[in-house]
Structure 1
Amino acid sequence: MSLSVTYRRDAMRMREPFRISGYLLHAMPATVVTVGDGTHFGRGEAAGVYYLNDDPPHMEREIERVRDALEAGVDRQGLQSLLPPGGARNALDCALWELESLKKATPVWRLAGVPESKPQVTTFTLPADDPAEILRRLEAFTSATSIKLKLEGDLAADTERVRAVRRARPDVWLSVDANQGFGAKDLEPLAAMLVDQDVALLEQPVRRGSEQLLDGWDAPLPVAADESILDLKELREQYRRFDIVNIKLDKCGGLTEALAMAAEARRLGLGVMVGNMAGSVLAAAPGFVLAQLCDVVDLDGPYFLAEPGADRGIFNAGKVMIPADFWGWGNPSSA
């Protein structure tokens, strides 16, 4: 079976600049891939991994490098060895999932063997800005029951950020994401402050490649890996240093490997989280399939896009739900 492969680039501009440790993001450009058999067409969207220079130009070069094999009719399993983990494989893998879903009139969640999709509580993310700006943005999340706050690696400033959010919203489940911002000397005081402020989860405190700083640290709250664990191989190498793994499809290269990572994380005794690299509903949809297996869901990316109506109404009362009529990512057999 021959396949057609096309792609386009989408600017994915954000409604407001978003600050994290080391970056001020105005957009998260993406490559949107369509794979078709002449009758049915599946889609996949990927932003890549910005801190690895895996951006749309790189993803598109990767697609062109293997175009002949793709168009000859590669399946999802063949794709795993054709391309390495990253955005290009993610977009193609997700497009192949949706293509199969549409051909069989069977939702992706059923093909993947996960529970039927149900609304999931999702975190909504606040930037590493000054407390006044954080509180201004927090006003938009009155219905949220789960909040993630970005930190920048300055313990004093980050303490003020956390305290401001906790004072304003003593009711929410609160996590923080350091985005690799801290060193060894800060771990103990950081954790003590977070425990004092009833923070439930610390994500990626140290730089990728410096995970040995966590060896022997008896953290008083769960610690999640994001940048430190990109794919299944790194999960097996690094899992002992973390309590939870944040699985992002752009990092691991698609839903196929993400499902394998979730199963392996459970086997290894880790909690499972699904995240996103911003993106539209099309990027969030395969993550939502994975979310049915997760302890923590962070799929707020579409909320932050500048285009009016970009989130397609998938957020309600602090939860996320992909609509039943969203092609293969909903439930085409019942829509």
Structure 2
Amino acid sequence: MINKRLTFCHENWSLREPFRISRGVKTCADVIHVAINCDQVTGQGESVPYARYGETTESVLDQIEEVLPEVEGGTNPEELLELLPAGAARNAVDCALWDLMARWQGRSVPELFGLEVQRELETAITIGLDTPEKMAKKARMNRRAPLLKVKLDQENILDRVRAVRIQAPESRIILDPNESWNMDILRLVDEELAGLGIDLLEQPLPAGQDDGLREYRPKVPVCADESCHTSQDLPALTGKYQYINIKLDKTGGLTEAVRLRELALGQGFGLMVGCMVATSLSMAPAILLCSGADFIDLDGPWWMAKDREDGFNIQNGIIRNISGNLWGGTEKAEAAVS
């Protein structure tokens, strides 16, 4: 490829309502948009700087600026792994490179990876942290969704979960305390959570403080989120977690995410595919990871007051309008792997 040009910027997307977790409240999504143009063909990517991992908008923009000469000079996704660490900067550039390569060749990214994508997918709908009464109201509004994800902290755990379960008796439920529990809390609530039919518990303990899980045999399976970024983390998770949550902003893009998925499946981990709160452009590459996943949590666009053109249509927990128009290649190429 010749005449390649990389552009990038910070964008702010308003949410339709506040998004509350144990760490705080979001009212907007701050994302980084990357576009790589080559002779009138453009690939794009999006990522979310995350303070939990020491990232800011400015630090991610600086990282992309540092690799601009290499990317414009022809760096490919495998080479990018050596130029940038796992994180939001690498994710946005990596996804833009794959999008560009697919469009340049008149193919689709799924074709380039040899992966299949579905036209519709079930996604979790997130119930933000709130009073049991307000969480019950949100659960009732979304009771037709086949999968709910419930945000928690240390307070009123069982009251909140019971309130949601009463209003959504048929839905599968993921609980996500965002690292706010300890082993004493986990042991105290595990049996009752199992009795309430909870399907998955996502990262209850702080990453790096989860050794207590090694000798623990939970009734509700436990999933690593903050404890799992790349394939290099898998050895430390064996014997502690039954599932891992793959997020592109943690792996630093699709290249490493596909590698992590394959290795995790080969080592017997169950899969969850997750996201940060962002537009459909952040979600679209993650669709490639969903085959074989037991839990899919890609409801970021559902929280947007307004999404990108050609974005996902999410109703009652079902993602529709999955196409290559926004990201990933042509409709004709996508149809070939459906």
TM-score category of the 2 structures, normalised to the smaller one: over 0.9
1:239 Cα offset (Å):
3.1
Q: Which amino acid aligns with 2:256?
A: E
Match of 1:234 in 2: 233
| TM-score in terms of structure 1 length | 0.94
> Aligned partners of 2:331, 2:56: CA distance in 1, in Å?
32
Match of 2:279 in 1: 280
Residue by residue, what CA displacement relative to the aligned partner does 1:128-154 show, whole Å, maximum 9, x if unpaired? 110222133234424311101011122
Match of 1:290 in 2: 289
Give the RMSD, CA atoms, in angstroms: 1.8
Is structure 2 residue 184 aligned with structure 1 residue 196?
no
> Aligned partners of 2:152, 2:98: CA distance in 1, in Å?
35
1:213 Cα offset (Å):
2.1
Match of 2:35 in 1: 34
1:176 Cα offset (Å):
0.4
1:327 Cα offset (Å):
4.1
1:60-139 alignment, distance < 5 Å: 60-139=61-140
Q: Which range moved further: 325-334 or 128-137?
A: 325-334
> Aligned partners of 2:135, 2:205: CA distance in 1, in Å?
23
Q: 1:37 to 1:330 in 2, by over 3 A?
A: closer
> Aligned partners of 1:97, 1:262: CA distance in 2, in Å?
17
Q: 1:101 to 1:63 in 2, by over 3 A?
A: same
Match of 2:142 in 1: 141
Match of 1:220 in 2: 219
| TM-score in terms of structure 2 length | 0.93
1:254 Cα offset (Å):
0.4
Match of 1:332 in 2: 331
Q: 1:106 to 1:140 in 2, by over 3 A?
A: farther
Match of 1:52 in 2: 53
Q: Which amino acid aligns with 1:187?
A: L
1:37 Cα offset (Å):
1.2
Q: 1:244 to 1:5 in 2, by over 3 A?
A: same
1:162 Cα offset (Å):
0.3
> Aligned partners of 2:239, 2:44: CA distance in 1, in Å?
36
Q: Report SS of the residue matched to 1:277.
A: coil
Count of aligned positions: 333
Q: 1:325 to 1:250 in 2, by over 3 A?
A: closer
Q: Which range moved further: 49-58 or 270-279?
A: 49-58
Q: 1:104 to 1:117 in 2, by over 3 A?
A: farther
1:278 Cα offset (Å):
1.0
Is structure 2 residue 154 aligned with structure 1 residue 153?
yes
Q: Report SS of the residue matched to 1:240.
A: coil
1:16 Cα offset (Å):
1.3
Q: Which amino acid aligns with 1:222?
A: P
1:328 Cα offset (Å):
4.2
Is structure 2 residue 22 aligned with structure 1 residue 21?
yes
Q: Is the 8 A contact 1:302 1:311 kept in 2?
A: no
> Aligned partners of 1:65, 1:262: CA distance in 2, in Å?
29
Q: Which amino acid aligns with 1:267?
A: G
> Aligned partners of 2:79, 2:263: CA distance in 1, in Å?
21
Q: 1:317 to 1:183 in 2, by over 3 A?
A: closer
Q: Which amino acid aligns with 1:215?
A: R
Q: Report SS of the residue matched to 2:33.
A: strand
> Aligned partners of 2:162, 2:214: CA distance in 1, in Å?
28
> Aligned partners of 2:222, 2:136: CA distance in 1, in Å?
25
> Aligned partners of 1:217, 1:26: CA distance in 2, in Å?
37
Q: Is the 8 A contact 2:279 2:307 kept in 1?
A: no
1:317 Cα offset (Å):
4.5
1:302 Cα offset (Å):
0.3
> Aligned partners of 1:271, 1:330: CA distance in 2, in Å?
29
Consecutive unaligned residues of structure 1, counting only runs of 5 or more, are none
Residue by residue, what CA displacement relative to the aligned partner does 1:70-124 show, whole Å, maximum 9, x if unpaired? 1111001110111010000000000011001111121211211112333111110
> Aligned partners of 2:324, 2:81: CA distance in 1, in Å?
29
Q: Equivalent pairs: percent with the same residue?
A: 31
Consecutive unaligned residues of structure 2, counting only runs of 5 or more, are none
Q: Is the 8 A contact 2:146 2:171 kept in 1?
A: yes
> Aligned partners of 2:321, 2:89: CA distance in 1, in Å?
23
> Aligned partners of 1:292, 1:11: CA distance in 2, in Å?
31
1:266 Cα offset (Å):
0.8
